[in-house]
Structures are given as C-alpha cells and as structure tokens.
Structure 1
C-alpha cells in the first residue's frame, strides 16, 4: 500500500498523518520534533512511503535534510498555498493540519520550495544578525531622542560620529538625565562596535567570493546586496529562465480576472522580503548615483510614462533578472546596451 505522509511541525512536537493513494487515513500519531525520532516513526509506518510533506518554516529545512538522508522523498511545501488550503477547515488543530498537508501531497496540489544549502543559510544568519544589531542601535538612538524631547531638548540632525557628544551636551547639568543617558550611550557604543565587526566579516566574504565580485560590477550593487542576492537565490540553475526572478521575488503585479472584470493591481510582494528590499535599494541607488547605464536610461523612460515609483520597482525587477543572468553566465555587468546580453524584462 502506498502512503503519503504530512507533518505539521512545531517547536516541541510534530503531528503526523499518513493517507493512502485513495485518500483514506492510514495512521495518525505525534512525535518529538527531532530528526532521529521522526525517522524512526516514519519507518514504522504501514505501507510504502511515497512522499513526506512539510510546510516551509523555521525547523523545516533542518528536518528536510535528515529525512532526505534517511531515504524519504521529502517535499517542502510553499507556506502561502498550504495556509490558504488549510483555512477552509472549520476546526484548526495540529492533527488536522497534518491531515491537510498529507491530502495536498496525495492530490499533488502543492508548490514545492527550494531547500537552501548550508552555506546559504549561514550567510542569511550573518545578514540577519547584522540587521538585528543595526535595528537595536537605531532603537537606542530613538529612545534617547525621546527622553530628551520630554525636557524640550531637541537633538536635530546630527552625524553618527557626533551623536554621543550632542547627547552629553544637552544632558549636561541635569544629574538625572545624565544617569539616564549614560547606559544608553554605552550600549549604543558597544552595538556600533559589534556592527562594525559584522560588516567587516561580510565585506571580507564578498571580496573572496567570485560570484559576489561578479554581481558587484553592477552599479548600485554593493557588499550587502550581492550577499543577499547570492544567499536568496542559492542555486541559479533552479530557475528555467532569468525572467522567473521577478515573480519569484514578488516584484510583478497581482492580477484578478473574473468574467468581464480584469484588475491588475500592485506587486504581489511574494517571496523573500530581504531580497526584494535589496533589489529596490539597488534600483534607487542606480537611479540617483554613479555612472549612468543602459538600465538607468530604460528606467528613466519608464518614469516618464508611469511615474518614478513604478519605474523604481520595474528597475528593481530588471536588476534581479540581469543579476541572475550575470551569475549564470559568469559575466561582469556591461554598461553599454550594445555590449549587454539582452534580457527581456518580466
């Protein structure tokens, strides 16, 4: 008997449901969310396991590797689609979610998600750490500004290097304000040092990575954007065409068509938020700074017809397409249109 197994993974335990090829529930159980326990439980299932499905999530990629290594055909399922399907159930429990995932797998009504390599996950961890430290620094700066503002003391615009001196000058003569500002400033200084250390690690890695060096030949693409693109795409061969990058990263319009109604809306915002943000930043820099290229000229033409904001989004999408082609072909960015490999925008 062929069985399809759905896993609903949580931090402590995993709900497991096995259904037959005819959709009949064969067995339901739970197990600890540990690879060894899950592998042992799945091996004890009746019948032949055709596939194991689990929703993409924090623990999914870790478990995916162990299940694959144990010989199970494992599928990471796209979160939005699974969530949409499971919403139809009137009662939501882990057991029912596992059943729903198993039925989606059995019917073939799912979209699989790429499991990132270990190196890509490690790089994303570094990028996430940098973002967390940077945000913590910003929060401290906003906090001290708010404290001073309550006393009518306005920081105004100040360079990062002169921030601490400005705070101390405003708080001078008020022992309570000085006592409040000192720990915040000390914490800010420590965070800035850690941020500088993280950024040095990222810069060194980008300099040593041939793919990042290739991507950084495009104007507007620096260390962080190159590393973000590389970690997000991971394997350029998994895309049949460079034009698939646009929809995958959520930079193409939504469309809702029914009968005589056909609405083209805003971008879908599907996929990796960090990558979408990085591409938008690259587009903004390319439009305003540095050497002009054939991409800049194209975006300015779009801006005349559709407005600057839409042109920036369109340029971000096209930058993603061109970066993928550069990576796949191993070629540096070509500034002139006649020298560039033609890539039709998505």
Structure 2
C-alpha cells in the first residue's frame, strides 16, 4: 500500500495531503511546524510513505528530521504556480507530481555531511558580502560630494583622516560611523576565515582540491560542502549545468517542407546562453578561479590553453568562460580520483587538442 504525501511548509504550520497509489485523495490536515509533531503525524499514515516538499529555508532541517520515518523523501525545486492557490491545493499538487513522476527538479540533500564546514563557509560568505556592502556605502558618500574615489586606498586606516577632510563637516560623522562598522566587519571576517581554514584542514579532500588551478584553501573549503560528493554528476556537462557554466541553445520553427513534401531542418537563428537554474555560489567560485589563472598563473599549462583560445579570435569574456569550464572539469576529475592537480597532465591534454 503506497501513500504519497505532499507537504506545504510554512514557519508556523505545515499542510500535509495524502493520496493513494491510484491518485485518490485520502486526507489532508495541518500540523505545527515542530519536529516531534511532524514525526508523529507521519507515523500515523499507514503503508509505504513517499514524502515530497519544496526547497526552502527549513528543507534541510525537515529532511534530517523526517527522512528516517519515510520510505522516500524528495525535496523538489520551487516552481511558479498560476491560477487558484492554497496550502491544501499546493500539498495535493506536490503529492500528485511525485506519484506520476512529474517533478521538474529534485534538490540534493545531505545535511549530515560536512555540517560544520558548511556552516563556517556560510558565515564567511555572509561576512564577505557585508564587507563589500559597507565599502560601497563609504564610497557612495565621497561620490555624492563630488570626490573622485578609485581603488581601495579610501578604506585604509592610515590615510583615513586625509579622506575625511575632503568631506563637509555634516558628512564626516556619518563616514566615521561607517568606517567603524567596516573595521568591525573586517575583524569578524578575519576570524571567520581562520575558522574556515582550521576546519578545512580536517578534511583530506579540501587539501587535494586546493591544488586545482586558481584554487586555494578558501575556495576549496567553500566548494566541498556545496557539492558534497562528485558522484552526483556522471559527466562534466552535468556538473557544468549545476555550476551555471552549461551552454543552452534555443531555437523555434526548426522544420520546413521541401517542394517534394519532405520535412528538413531549416537554418534558423539559435540563441545561445548559459543555464539559468544553477548554484550561484559555485559559479562565483569557478569564475573567480578563472580570473586568478588569467591574472596570476601565467606559467600554468591551462593558462596556455586560454591564450590559444584568445589567439583564435574568441572574445575575452567567452575565453574566460571556457577557462572556468576547464577548471570545473579538472576539479571534478580530481575529486572523483582523489588526486592532486598535475600540471603536466594539463599540458599533455592541451598539446593533444592543439594537434
């Protein structure tokens, strides 16, 4: 006896809807968003239980809490809904999609793996973003008063008084408070980075991946808790799509009929772009690694491949994208084989492609 359960999750309550294997609606009821209450509600449902919920802020906690009590638990990607909407309708809709296998996107969850490293990585990324925002606010004060500001010298504590003197007295107090806020954030970021590096050293795979082109201990420590395991991806193209580096081609009105009545593919303009459903943090990591290779790793064989792409007439932005894809493929292979980066192997591949 199979039971498909859709759960619409909110901060205060969850709505559960149960349907049979033939699609008949059996019951629906609200439950407090509380671990013990949800477990008891799930246990009261007889048969083999298949539970589905949408990805959200609480999905990792709910997955960890409810997974031992069901036969299958699926976290679905959020999709836009049109027409009438309610918690009950959404829950039944999720259950029906799970029953017929019509869920658009499954979200991978492994909350018990790399837990501490994941939390420290999130803290570090949050503080990095806060520092950038604080710096932007400081620059905006100077620009609003017609003071030309470039580079990072304006944030330095040594020349801070010289910069403040260029502002009217009415703006100096505000700028001083923002400088104090920036100093606090920089200290917190420094501590978060130390915590992240300390935790990263406890995982051998982080040590391996930091040898990848354009990588280091910070990027490796941020990558691992996001991907969890490389075996989620059978090919590098699947990994590229997940990282936002997969190329998507779009076309329409592809077929035309000849005078003889046969159908042939027409030469229609094709729009090319990158996959939009992706992990934005991973895309940032690999594009940052590509920037590092371009600006700092001139002796790396993978940089020579980048130079050849440029020499072939490719735009620098597209060449950089190709470089990011190379690095992502290299990291995936290193992780699967648990081997450090071998520049000689990269050079061999480059010479093979050149020939």
Bin of the TM-score, shorter chain as denominator length: 0.7 to 0.9
1:185 CA displacement: 1.8
Task: Assess if the C-alpha contact under 8 Å between 2:213 and 2:327 holds in 1.
Answer: no
Matched with 1:65 is 64
Distance 1:209 1:119 in 2: 11
The alpha carbon displacement at 1:155 in A equals 4.1
Structure 1 residue 209 displacement after superposition: 2.7
SS at match of 1:118: coil
- The SS at the match of 1:271 is coil
1:266 equivalent in alignment to 2:273 = yes
1:167 touches 1:181 (CA, 8 Å); kept in 2? Answer: no
Does structure 1 conserve the Cα–Cα contact (< 8 Å) formed by 2:117 and 2:200?
Answer: no
How far apart are residue 242 of structure 1 and its match? 4.1
**Aligned equivalent of 2:250, options 253, 256, 268:** 256
2:93 is the counterpart of 1:100: yes
1:241 aligns with 2:248: no
Secondary structure class of the residue paired with 2:250: strand
CA contact (8 A) 1:251 1:276 kept: yes
**Which residue in the other structure is 1:283 paired with?**
290
Contact (CA 8 Å) 2:2, 2:50: kept in 1 or not?
no
Deviation at 1:101, TM superposition (A): 0.5
Q: 1:182 to 1:274 in 2, by over 3 A?
A: same
- Which residue of structure 2 lines up, in the alignment, with residue 312 of structure 1? 320
Q: Structure 1: which 5+ residue stretches go unaligned?
A: none
Q: Residues of 2 paired with 1:266 and 1:61: CA distance? A: 31
Tell me which residue corresponds to 1:56. Answer: 55
1-structure distance, mates of 2:271, 2:115: 35
- Per the alignment, residue 129 of structure 1 pairs with 123
> Which of residues 190, 197, 205 in structure 1 aligns to 2:191?
197
Q: CA deviation at 1:213?
A: 1.3
How many Å separate the matches in 2 of 1:114 and 1:42? 22
SS at match of 2:114: helix
Identify which of 148, 171, 179 aligns with 2:164: 171
Length, aligned pairs only? 336
Aligned to 1:5: 5
For residue 130 of structure 1, report the CA deviation from its aligned partner.
Answer: 2.0
Q: Are the equivalent residues in 1 in contact too, given 2:13–2:30 (CA < 8 A)?
A: yes
Structure 2: unaligned runs, 5 residues or longer: 255-267
Equivalent residues in 2 for 1:320-339, closer than 5 Å? 320-337=328-345
Q: Is the 8 A contact 2:124 2:192 kept in 1?
A: yes
Query: Take 1:246 and 1:150, find their aligned partners in 2: how far apart are those partners?
Result: 41
1:141-164 Cα deviation digits (max 9, x unpaired): 33233334444444444436x633
Q: 1:242 to 1:175 in 2, by over 3 A?
A: closer
Task: Tell me the TM-score normalised to structure 1 length.
Answer: 0.87
